[in-house]
């Protein structure tokens, strides 16, 4: 069977990656809207309603507008929204199949799936299980920092790094941003983990194209039960047992490091996320490493599409 797919926002960073990942698949027919008709609502409505799956790779307002083009009674066309517009909307299913034992089935049966944000994906993979199990209390004063490649900032940021000639020292250095502490991923980071308060989130962009590490410090003295880093590693290993795309690293992660360093680029061009637990009896650091353009964006979207269409979940995705 061939499925018709329309990528609304095909020329953006995520749209281009989805197009690239789907272009070689025989069971997928990509519908291409004529360039001069991209902003014509009537033409776009035809494409939306003729597709089996619509990927929305648009700003929030444009994403909502495209969803509104769905014809009354059309229960066939299914949406995968990569914007932040619907990630905490209860009418949409959150597109992290590994979230809990029932989430994959919810994704499978959904007409509307919200693709997680890249930073949020790592934070939620780490914190949702710990809060749900009662290891981390809901009122825990959570904080997280996340370093990402510049591709996560879209075309303008990519151009600022790749087309600027010789970079100034200010661009060569890792740079904190969103210092107003109101990053757009915060609502889903709180809602999908069950935390009572938004975490203190400090993202960092580095002088590399893609790759990401999200890290969350934990203080055992503030947790509900006495646990060590090894205990947390074992908990994650059991929670994510059998998952293809989430790999929990050994309790002694030293052999997995690069001379003691944790590079952000190791999972690039895959849909794999690696989970780490470091620390000692007084302090624990949990971390998730993945490709911000893979499990953090286009890979996650295609994984959900595969599930929704009843296809092999790994189709078109590298582990």
**What 3-state class would DSSP assign to 258?**
strand
Contact indicator for 253, 276 with CB cutoff of 8 Å? yes
- The three-class DSSP label of residue 287 is strand
Largest CA distance in the chain: 62
Taking the CB of residue 23, how many other CB atoms lie within 10 A of it? 10
Contacts of 13 (CB under 8 A, 6+ apart): 151, 154, 155, 158, 293, 297
CA-CA distances (angstroms) from residue 69 to 39, 65, 309? 13, 7, 22
Contacting residues for 165 by C-beta, under 8 A, at least 6 apart = none
Catalytic residues: 118
295: which DSSP letter? I
Beta strand extents in the chain (DSSP E only): 3-8, 28-31, 53-56, 78-81, 93-94, 112-114, 143-149, 175-176, 200-206, 212-218, 246-248, 273-279, 284-290
């Amino acid at each position: 069977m061939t499925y018709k797919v329309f990528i609304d926002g095909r020329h953006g960073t995520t749209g281009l990656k989805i197009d690239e990942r789907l272009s070689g698949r025989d069971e997928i027919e990509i519908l291409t809207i004529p360039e001069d008709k991209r902003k014509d609502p009537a033409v776009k409505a035809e494409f939306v309603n003729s597709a089996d799956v619509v990927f929305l790779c648009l700003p929030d307002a444009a994403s909502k507008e495209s969803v509104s083009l769905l014809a009354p009674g059309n229960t066939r066309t299914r949406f995968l929204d990569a914007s932040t517009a619907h990630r905490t909307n209860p009418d949409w299913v959150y597109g992290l199949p590994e979230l809990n034992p029932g989430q994959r089935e919810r994704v499978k049966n959904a007409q509307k799936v919200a693709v997680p944000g890249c930073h949020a994906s790592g934070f939620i993979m780490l914190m949702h299980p710990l809060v749900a199990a009662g290891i981390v209390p809901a009122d825990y004063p959570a904080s997280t920092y996340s370093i990402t490649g510049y591709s996560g900032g879209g075309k303008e940021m990519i151009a600022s790094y790749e087309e600027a000639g010789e970079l100034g020292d200010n661009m060569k250095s890792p740079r904190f941003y969103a210092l107003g502490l109101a990053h757009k991923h915060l609502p889903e980071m709180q809602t999908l983990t069950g935390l009572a308060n938004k975490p203190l989130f400090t993202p960092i962009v580095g002088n590399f194209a893609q790759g990401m590490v999200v890290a969350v410090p934990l203080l055992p003295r503030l947790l509900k039960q006495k646990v060590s880093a090894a205990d947390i590693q074992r908990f994650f290993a059991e929670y994510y047992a059998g998952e293809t795309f989430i790999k929990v690293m050994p309790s002694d992660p030293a052999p997995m490091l690069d001379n003691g360093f944790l590079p952000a680029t190791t999972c690039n061009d895959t849909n794999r996320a690696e989970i780490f637990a470091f620390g000692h009896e007084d302090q624990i650091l949990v971390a998730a490493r993945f490709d911000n353009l893979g499990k953090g964006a286009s890979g996650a979207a295609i994984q959900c599409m595969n599930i929704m269409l009843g296809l092999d979940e790994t189709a078109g995705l590298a582990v």
